[in-house]
Structure 1
């Protein structure tokens, strides 16, 4: 038994040596294949990391290129838009210059006594435009959809009731349904243009002094008969714009003493600040209205009301500016 145990103890070192070098008792040397395999693994890992880094760089470059391309396109679009606006501004400027030249030409004619305005210094004959188109008065205030026969009859009754110096026989309504009628001014033998103007003004004054009421509008304000000398369509639209702005301001409780009107240009000023015009350039943050614009913000501040309330009152008035 002792011999057996000794033999086991003595055999263990021999076995370990055999495992270390089963051939000649020397440590096993590194082979070339093992070195190659180790290097190949390192290279493969390094190449994988390099590819990942390159893909990341490529994605970033693509993103930067797309952003630069987008910004460049936006810049080009803005340049095109600015160029188009510049061309439009040039066209508008050219139109203004042409209108200015025409205006100065007309002023020059008036100064030389060759003008054709109603205020001509020639008191023995009608103005030049009167020869081509006789002057006429427009009387209205009725609902725009009222039957023409009713409008004509009521207008004739008003003219007769105030004993207007212009006969109502020639009065007519230009349509099947209108809220106004046209009264041509008759020509009398031997009558000078000054006397004719006097009859026109007397008729206007008498109708206005009568202050004929026609009921109420949908907004609750009074509807009255009005009368005015017929003007070219564009001039009438300008005057209508100014008149509607005036009505808006006064109906909201505005102070009349700080309101200034210029119907010929469709303009109005509240406390020296322009709130509408049909001839001046439209400022920013204003509303287009008929032949011009209106500043509802300024009107709202002047009457101490909200812009929403002013817009509500303005909507039906704006619809009447044709």
Structure 2
């Protein structure tokens, strides 16, 4: 057996070792290191297409036009609705103004006629029997409402007797119901007597009761006055309403009142504060006025002027006057 290079089978030589680890390195470690590099570019990661400004501008313009059109339609609807409401309100105000104008004109005509009737005691038309009886009747008061008839009549008779006034009367006093607060005393024309003589007798009785200051059983002063028509009572009672209401706030205010019962007018200090036949002062705020709409003449009270003099608020005055309204 041959040993050495002399003979026999020649075995292949060992492969050469590469000079560099990078050259021909196909080891698994090398292959793993190579996998860390960037992956190959796929079709999904293509570069984006170029941005189109014209398309964006078109979309924005279209959106803007839609917004403008929507707002324009909304504004037109609001304006139309507002115009409809304004037209309706103006129509209502115009109708109210025409109605108020007609009422004021009618009221002025009635006031002028009323003033004409009051001046000098002038009257329109012939005097009928009922009116004749009313003018020849005296009224006596000073009792609470719903007082028994016999109480009122007994005290009137007693006053006439004790004041020596029976000689001027013709008939006994009476009441118009079983329970009242006033009594009536009619006067008739005596034989050969003129109407002026009868009025003199009536005035003598009236002044005798007034000056005597007699007290009724209810602790009130007995008073007497000429019987008045419904219209005249409405006029004079306006002054009584003002007086009663102010007295409920401060009795001293009554001392500063000047009352004209014939025209239903009242003054407080320097202010004319109420009237039936006279118009209210101009430029007065409606919130300062109180009207009595139950009567055709619409009597008024100037609460603002009363508040300035009395120091009481218009709200309290309005409530107080309503409480004492007849």
1:137 aligns with 2:144: no
User: TM-score, length-normalised on structure 1?
Assistant: 0.69
SS in 2 for 1:213: coil
Name 2:162's counterpart in structure 1.
161
Higher deviation after alignment, 76-85 or 89-98? 89-98
Select the residue among 176, 179, 190 that pairs with 2:181.
179
Q: Does 1:83 align with 2:85?
A: no
Q: What is the distance in 1 between the residues matched to 2:156 and 2:254? A: 33
**Residue 68 of structure 1 pairs with residue 79 of structure 2:** yes
Moved more, 132-141 or 197-206: 132-141
Q: Say whether the 8 Å CA contact 1:171–1:181 is kept in structure 2.
A: yes
Shift in Å, 1:177: 2.3
Distance 1:61 1:129, change over 3 A: same
**Aligned match of 1:213:** 215
Q: Distance in 2 between matches of 1:80 and 1:19?
A: 84
2:23 matched to which residue of 1? 6
Partner of 1:300: 307
> Where do 1:267-306 residues align within 5 Å?
267-282=265-280, 284=286, 285-289=288-292, 291=295, 292-306=299-313
Number of equivalent positions:
287
Q: Deviations over 1:221-256 (max 9, x none)?
A: x73222111111121121011123234446531374
- Structural mapping, 1:1-322, within 5 Å: 2=18, 5-7=22-24, 19=40, 53=64, 56-96=67-107, 98-99=109-110, 102=113, 115-116=122-123, 128=127, 132-134=131-133, 135-164=136-165, 165-167=167-169, 169-214=171-216, 223-249=220-246, 251-254=250-253, 256=255, 259-282=257-280, 284=286, 285-289=288-292, 291=295, 292-307=299-314, 310=317, 314-318=321-325, 321=326
* Contact 2:148 2:179 (C-alpha < 8 Å) held by counterparts: yes
Larger Rg belongs to: 2
The Cα of 1:175 is off from its aligned counterpart by 2.4
Report how far residue 46 of structure 1 moved. Answer: 7.0
What secondary structure sits across from 1:264 in the alignment? coil
Contact in 1 for aligned 2:142/2:182 (Cα 8 Å): yes
* Pair 160,21 (structure 1): closer, same or farther in 2 beyond 3 Å: closer
**TM-score under structure 2 length normalisation:** 0.68
- Given that residues 240 and 266 in structure 1 are in contact (C-alpha distance below 8 angstroms), is that contact kept between their aligned partners in structure 2? yes
List alignment gaps of at least 5 residues for structure 1: 23-27, 118-126, 217-221
Aligned in 2, Cα 1:245/1:107: closer, same or farther, shift over 3 Å? closer
Q: Is the 8 A contact 1:166 1:186 kept in 2?
A: no
CA contact (8 A) 1:116 1:129 kept: no
Q: Which has the higher helix share?
A: 1
CA drift at 1:86: 2.4
Rate the CA distance shift 1:280–1:102 in 2: closer, same or farther, 3 A.
closer
1:121 matched residue in structure 2: none
Q: What is the alpha-carbon distance in structure 2 between the residues aligned to residue 21 and residue 268 of structure 1?
A: 108
